[in-house]
Chain A
Amino acid sequence: MLRRLLLPVIFAILAYGFWISPNTKEIAAGVAIFLFGMLYLEEGFRAFSGGLLERLLKHSTDRLWKAVSFGIVTTTIMQSSSLVSVITISFLSAGLIGLSSGIGIIFGANLGTTTGAWLVAGFGLKVDIAAYAMPMLAFGIILVFQKSKTLKATGYALSGLGFLFLGIHYMKEGFEAFRDTVNLAEYAISGFLGLVVFTLIGMVATVIMQSSHATLVLIITALAANQITYENAIALAIGANIGTTVTAIIGSMSANYQGKRLALAHLIFNFVTGAIAIVFIAQIIWMVTWVSDHIGIAADDYALKLAVFHTIFNVLGVVVMLPLVHRLVAVLNRVIPMPRAQLSEPKYINAAAFDFPETLLEAVRMETQHLYRNAFTIMAHGLNLDRSVILSDVNLDAHVDHNRHVFDFDIDETYNNKVKALHASILEFISKAQSKFSPDFANRLFALRNACLSIVSSTKDIKHLRKNISKYIRSNNEDIRREYNKLRVQIAEVLREIDVLEHSGEEDRDILALDELKVAFEASNTFATGELDSLIRKGRISAGMATSLMNDLGYARNAIWHLTDVATALYGSRDSQSKGAENLMSLTKDEVDDLRLDTKTKV
């Protein structure tokens, strides 16, 4: 109800403003152009970074001080704390960074955003900024229409900056002209009441414009035109800082519980910072005056003084909150607990991951691993083996010889609940994602989709095997029991090898070792080696047992090949050239068969 009313209310206020004074059109247009500039700038950096930002984020945020520095630098360059917040929430939702790193980045982003005030107060108001804006726009828009991704992204960034400057110019001009008709300074409220009222106005303005940057520019240009008092401008700046948390909260709505925790951390940080500023306002103003005197800012340059205030009050907030990060994380973990995850629900893929291709790919990769872990349990129990046995160093041959326990579970129901449902969610997500990005990205996404299909196929193969495995491992016929135990061991060895690959460092992984297991399977394939005929001829196994075994050898082979495909997709080299080299050297089916003929069977 409130959302539906918001737009008409905003339009009504604007229309009233235009009616009171035509000059408000210039100010409103200035704000609109400024916001448009921010969108273009975000678009430029989003396209330009092409994974660089995400890679930097992964490697630059393992310590708190690095996370804070990352937040400061990226926000200063991009002039948008919203973009940094969105990236951070995406990464956090996908499980790629921890909550304390995410909080560090948000703290840093808050500090980085203060450079915007310096840019406007120190440069924007003192020069003819439109003279810089116009050539930027001209060149930028031409670049936007180019086919090259780099040129297009540069165009977006350049024209975004141009629109930003143009917006500041119109706001400046608008307030200058506005002064002749309406003097907003007459509505100034001094004292504590003024502090509270204007803080609330700053919050509301930022919520409406969804940008603390835009609000701050508006405040600075109004202050420079003496439309508001310095005291009230300070209160507006405090309100803008608090209001900006609404962007993070809206962004977290499509995120998982981690994203929501980060948004709450952002809200707490900004509220605490705002509260400190309100309570110690006199002391902070004194500090601003002292700093301004010492760095040569004129006593009546209130725009620059506001920039100093903005910096000091954000620095104070970080200084107070940084030592409390771990306590804050503990509170957030308690207030927003991790939901009891249904094994069949996706953990990593959610709408927040759609914003950046590398984040999305990583989220899909992790969800594929999640699918594999669910399938692994089903496959292990389908082979009548405990997960812990497969994942240990236990001699599998010896274990199956002495262990004839059959797991009692409904494999079809478990498969439907834990694998099929999750697979469907991943497929749906991939289908929505593939159209959003480049063909190269789509190919990488399809490779993961095929890995998911291989996981499902190998699980189904073991589902087929289960009935006869459960029957024949308890048979009194030693030969058939031996053959089925062999199948269990060979599949379990592949599962074990995949676990080794998962836990090895990227440099130590030997993906080609999977070919050894394929060759070993084929070399001991009773049907292929003719041993099965010998067993039937000698009456050691019945014809019925033989047909079961022949079919099941086929299912086992398929399961092994599908599992090796999964391992290659998930744990093969990420670098395209290394991946190409691995694919080149891996053995084809014919080459595996040729080697089978040369290799002695395992006795």
Chain B
Amino acid sequence: MKSGKIIKYFHEIMNQDTADKKAALKKILAKMKKKSRKLKAKLAEAKTDKERAEIEGKLKVNQAHRKKGLKALRELNDK
């Protein structure tokens, strides 16, 4: 396990560019996840159909962003 971690560490140093890309993606994905939670909380409190429709629209967009981001992260991990 230890040697695996060391190999992973050196692999990341050699591929600094990929490591930086992954870090940037993870940061935005974390932000999107936080936003998703906030939108779901707002949806629970929505009073009108219009408000609900608006928040659901935003949630769908948020999910689409996260899906794209996760796909890109998986591709980088597979490299």
**A578–B28 CB distance below 8 A:** yes
Tell whether, in the assembled complex, residue B53 and residue A577 are in contact, meaning their CB atoms are under 8 Å apart.
Answer: no
**Measured between alpha carbons, how far is A402 from B54 in the docked complex, in Å?**
22
Residue interface bits A444-477, CB-to-B below 8 A is 1, else 0: 0000000000000000000000000000000000
Chain B 18-36 per-residue mask, 1 if CB under 8 angstroms from chain A, else 0: 0011011101100110010
Please, which residues of chain B bring their CB within 8 A of the CB of A598? Answer: 60
* B25 vs chain A, min Cβ distance (A): 5
B60 A595 Cβ-Cβ under 8 A: yes
CB nearest to B19 among chain A residues: A577
Given B20, B24, B65, which contacts A587 in the complex, CB threshold below 8 Å? B65
Number of residues from B at the complex interface, CB < 8 A: 24
Q: Which of A510, A580, A586 contacts B21 (CB 8 A)?
A: A580
* Complex contact A520–B57 (CB within 8 A): yes
Whether, in the assembled complex, A582 has its beta carbon less than 8 Å from a beta carbon of chain B, the answer is yes
Produce 1/0 per residue, B40-72, CB < 8 A to A.
Answer: 000000000110011011101100110011001
Check if A577 sits within 8 Å of B23, measured CB to CB.
yes
- Are B53 and A600 in contact (CB-based, < 8 A)? yes
Stretch in contact with the other chain, from A45-53, A341-349, A511-519: A511-519
Contacts of B68 in A (CB 8 A): 584-585, 587
A213 to B63, CA, bound (A): 63
Judge whether A515 and B24 touch: CB under 8 Å: no
Residues of B within 8 A of A581 (CB): 21, 24-25, 27-28, 69, 72
In the complex, the answer to whether B57 meets A523 with C-beta atoms within 8 Å is yes
Minimal beta-carbon separation of B29 from chain A (angstroms): 8
Chain B residue contacts of A587, Cβ below 8 A: 61, 64-65, 68
Known: A585-B65, A602-B50. A516 touches B58 (CB 8 A): yes
| In contact, A512 and B32 (Cβ under 8 angstroms) | yes
B27 with A578: CB separation less than 8 A: yes
Flag whether A5 is at the interface (Cβ < 8 A).
no
A510 partner residues in chain B, CB cutoff 8 A: 31, 35
Task: Select which of B20, B53, B58, B72 is within 8 A of A585 by beta carbon.
Answer: B72
- B24, B31, B32, most chain A CB atoms within 10 A: B24
CB pair A519 B61 closer than 8 Å: yes
Residue of B nearest to A520 (CB): B57
Query: How far is B64's CA from A538's CA once the two chains are assembled, in angstroms?
Result: 37
Given A515-B65, A591-B64, verify A602-B23 contact (CB < 8 Å): no
A550 vs B64: C-alpha distance in the bound complex, in angstroms?
28
- A480 and B32 CA atoms in complex are apart in Å by 38
User: Does A180 reach chain B (CB closer than 8 Å)?
Assistant: no
CB pair B60–A519 under 8 Å, yes or no, is: yes
Q: How far is the CA of A591 from the CA of B65 in the complex (A)?
A: 10
Q: Is the pair B24, A516 in contact by a Cβ cutoff of 8 Å? A: no
Contact of A575 with B by CB under 8 A: yes
User: Which B-chain residue is minimally distant from A594 (CB atoms)?
Assistant: B64
Q: A403 on the interface (CB 8 Å rule)? A: no
A585 pairs with B28, CB closer than 8 A = yes
Q: Are A603 and B64 in contact (CB under 8 A)?
A: no
A577 CA / B16 CA spacing, docked (Å): 12
Does B28 lie within 8 Å of A516, measured CB to CB?
Answer: no
The interface residues of chain A lying within 8 Å CB-to-CB of B60 are 519, 595, 598-599
For B32, list chain A residues within 8 Å (CB): 512, 585
Task: Give the residues from 538 to 589 in chain A that come closer than 8 angstroms, CB to CB, to chain B.
Answer: 575, 577-578, 580-582, 584-587
Interface centre among B31, B61, B65 (most CB of A within 10 A): B61
How many angstroms from the CA of A582 to the CA of B28 in the assembled complex? 8
The chain B residue sitting closest to A582, CB to CB, is B28
A599 contacts B56, C-beta separation under 8 Å:
yes
Taken together as a complex, chains A and B put the C-alpha atoms of A138 and B54 apart, in Å, by 70
| Residues of A contacting B49 in the complex (Cβ-Cβ under 8 angstroms) | 603
A595-B27 Cα distance, complex, nearest whole Å:
24
Q: Decide if B56 touches A578 in the complex (CB within 8 Å).
A: no
**Closest B residue, CB atoms, query A519:** B61
CB distance from A186 to the nearest CB of B (A): 68
* Of listed A585, A586, A587, residue having the most chain B CB within 10 A: A585
Give the Cβ gap from A397 to chain B, nearest Cβ, in Å: 9
Enumerate chain B residues within 8 angstroms of A575, measured Cβ to Cβ. 24
Q: Closest CB of chain A to B2's CB: distance in Å?
A: 29
B50: chain A residues at CB < 8 Å are 602-603
Chain B residues near A586 (CB-CB < 8 A) = 65
Using A585-B72, A603-B49 as known contacts, say yes or no to A577 and B20 having CB atoms under 8 A apart. Answer: yes
A515, A516, A595, A602: which contacts B53 (Cβ < 8 A)?
A: A602
Contacts of A512 in B (CB 8 A): 28, 32, 61, 65
Q: List 18 A-B contacts (CB under 8 A).
A: A515-B61, A515-B64, A515-B65, A516-B58, A520-B54, A577-B24, A580-B24, A581-B21, A581-B25, A585-B28, A585-B32, A585-B65, A587-B65, A595-B60, A595-B61, A598-B60, A599-B60, A603-B53
* Known interface pairs A584-B68, A585-B68; 15 further A-B residue pairs with C-beta atoms within 8 A, sorted by A's residue number: A515-B61, A516-B61, A577-B23, A581-B24, A581-B69, A582-B28, A586-B65, A587-B64, A587-B68, A595-B60, A595-B61, A600-B57, A602-B50, A602-B54, A603-B50
**B positions within 8 Å CB-CB of A:** 20-21, 23-25, 27-28, 31-32, 35, 49-50, 53-54, 56-58, 60-61, 64-65, 68-69, 72
